[in-house]
Amino acid sequence: MLAGCSTSDRDATAEETGTDSTTEETAAAGFAADATIGIALPQKTSENWVLAEQLFKDGLEEAGFNGIVQFANGGVTEQQNQIQAMTEQGAAVIVVGAIDGSQLGTQLDAAKADGAYVIAYDRLLKNTEAVDLYIAFDNYQVGVLQGTALLEGLAARKGDGPYNIELIAGSPDDANATPFFEGAMSILQPKIDDGTLVVVSDQVTFEEVATQGWKAENAQKRMDTVLSGFYTDTELHGILSPNDTLGRAAMTAVAQAGKDTPVVTGQDSEVESVKSIMAGEQWSTIYKDTRELVAQTIATIKALQAGEEADVNDETSYDNGVKIVPAYLLTPFIVTQENAAEIYADDAALFPLTQE
């Protein structure tokens, strides 16, 4: 037992397997029960990341690991430095929620060369061989659910079409933003083509509707411009928003323009948005239970520690540009006022909000 010296433990296993670390080879190695585990989180752009921080701290401690859990609120360079430091501290596993999934190649190569197992958490790591596993909710499905909810909300709240809508996408540096948007457009594009939906601004490409840094102020600013440019005499019936933070920002812009509340989608089940849904304002959100995502990640780390293979349930969907990253995908749920109590039944923080 080499407990107490995680660096040499990990180096020993790295030597056995060489630095060519496919999932199987690294997984088969195992590592010390009290090994250092690095968790590199992005910026606090939504509540799910804040929840993840505490869940990782508590979960890793309970499992007996030496957890290093860090946000990179300063941006990409800070995250690069954090990952490098985790490698230098001998982390056996590095879990990354990337700010920009294609800017970490150098640091991830170094982590792999040192024998660490690299897990992309929630957001895919792009254009690098140096990622072993992706653990996330099914991002494309999130978009499909959002697009479907928008159509249902329009029919329920805005009478017969055609409906005037606007589109918002997430941050271009986040690998999730594209599958969210593409999933939603797989539902909405046919309805745009047949005239049921009218994007009055004509801003329909990802580039035109993206929101740098997932920042509320950027979404609000763009909506202000769209509203004053295209909606002075026109009703806005619906907004596709990729998450709750941006959805609320868009609703603020609409309210400030003195217009009726449109049907607005979201994601993350943030407290303010769940309240808004229950009050009949925001139409929908997505439930991606962060407890489940963190629990799956920690269960995977424990399996690797014991020398077992990581759980994988998808080996085809996530091409990161240089390889298909084996993935473990969890199921996201759509939430509206109608099913909120049912969906949040086991969530002590959210369920009470459905009973007020």
Q: Does 122 bind ligand BGC (CB under 6 A)?
A: yes
The residue from 46, 82, 146, 164 that contacts ligand BGC (CB under 6 A) is 46
Q: Does 248 bind ligand BGC (CB under 6 A)?
A: no
Among 10-18, 44-52, 185-193, 221-229, the segment contacting ligand BGC (CB under 6 A): 44-52
User: In terms of CB distance, is 7 or 139 closer to ligand BGC?
Assistant: 139
Q: Does 132 bind ligand BGC (CB under 6 A)?
A: no
- Kindly report the three-state secondary structure assignment for every residue of the chain: CCCCCHHHHHHHHHHHHCCCCCHHHHHHHCCCCCCEEEEEECCCCCHHHHHHHHHHHHHHHHCCCEEEEEECCCCHHHHHHHHHHHHHCCCCEEEECCCCCCCCHHHHHHHHHCCCEEEEECCCCCCCCCCCEEEEECHHHHHHHHHHHHHHHHHHHCCCCCEEEEECCCCCCCCCHHHHHHHHHHHHHHHHHCCCEEECCCCCCHHHHCCHHHCHHHHHHHHHHHHHHHCCCCCCCEEECCCHHHHHHHHHHHHHCCCCCCEECCCCCCHHHHHHHHCCCCCEEEECCHHHHHHHHHHHHHHHHCCCCCCCCECCCCECCCCECCEEEECCEEEECCCHHHHCCCCCCCHHHHHC
Q: Does 13 bind ligand BGC (CB under 6 A)?
A: no
Q: Does 126 bind ligand BGC (CB under 6 A)?
A: no
Q: Does 237 bind ligand BGC (CB under 6 A)?
A: no
User: In terms of CB distance, is 171 or 305 closer to ligand BGC?
Assistant: 171
Binding mask 214-233 for ligand BGC (x = CB under 6 A): x-------------------
Please count the residues of this chain forming the interface with ligand BGC, following the rule CB under 6 A: 12
Binding mask 159-198 for ligand BGC (x = CB under 6 A): -----------x---x-x----------------------
Q: Does 45 bind ligand BGC (CB under 6 A)?
A: yes
Q: Which residues bind ligand BGC (CB under 6 A)?
A: 45-46, 48, 122-123, 170, 174, 176, 214, 243, 267-268
